[in-house]
Amino acid sequence: MKVLNILSDALFKLEKLIAILLMSVILVSIVLGVVFRYFINSPLTWTDELAIYMLIWLTFVGGSMSVKNGKAASLDLVFEKVNVLWQRIFLIVGYTFVTVFSTIVTYMAVKWISNPAVLTQISPGLKISMFLPYLSIPFGLFCLTIHAVNHLVQSFKFEGTKVHVEGGE
């Protein structure tokens, strides 16, 4: 499915940009916090909270990116020792479980953040809606689902004597 591969690649490029932005905001936030606390003696109350929320976003976006690149935690020791048929079976079963799990959790996360009680929560330091930090969960898992489905489809393709699931760039 060429469309799925194009969608997965486009999402990966978006995730890379988001990850760069998130890491930059974390760096600036922490540096500002340190400078204001220790050099100006007037601590900023929101810098730590901002860095934490950006780290949460980075966790979900980075987790999705690791699935796209094939760098997520796996049992390579076992995988490399079995024949091609078993490698294919492991990939299909693994990506099926990842797809089902991430789809269910994405659905539950969207349902959860759509709750009026969540929508009205305000963060203590930044005074922003908690919807924004919580949005990282369905966004990251939606991207992960797209990447996992793409890999699942690719694992049915036969490429010579070796099983290979194409990663990101």
pLDDT score at 158: 64
Low-confidence ranges of the chain (pLDDT < 70): 74-75, 158-169
- Domain segments of the chain as ranges: 2-154
The tens digit of pLDDT for each residue in 98-117 reads 999 999 999 999 999 999 99
Which residues, listed in sequence order, are joined to residue 129 by a DSSP beta bridge?
122
- Entry pTM: 0.86
Neighbour tally for 31: CB within 10 Å: 11
User: If DSSP codes are grouped into helix, strand and coil, which group holds residue 169?
Assistant: coil
The tens digit of pLDDT for each residue in 2-14 reads 899 999 999 999 9
Give the Cα separation of 96 and 152 in Å (integer): 7
Q: What share of the chain is helix, strand, coil (3-state, %, to 5)?
A: 75, 0, 25
pLDDT score at 168: 47
pLDDT score at 155: 87
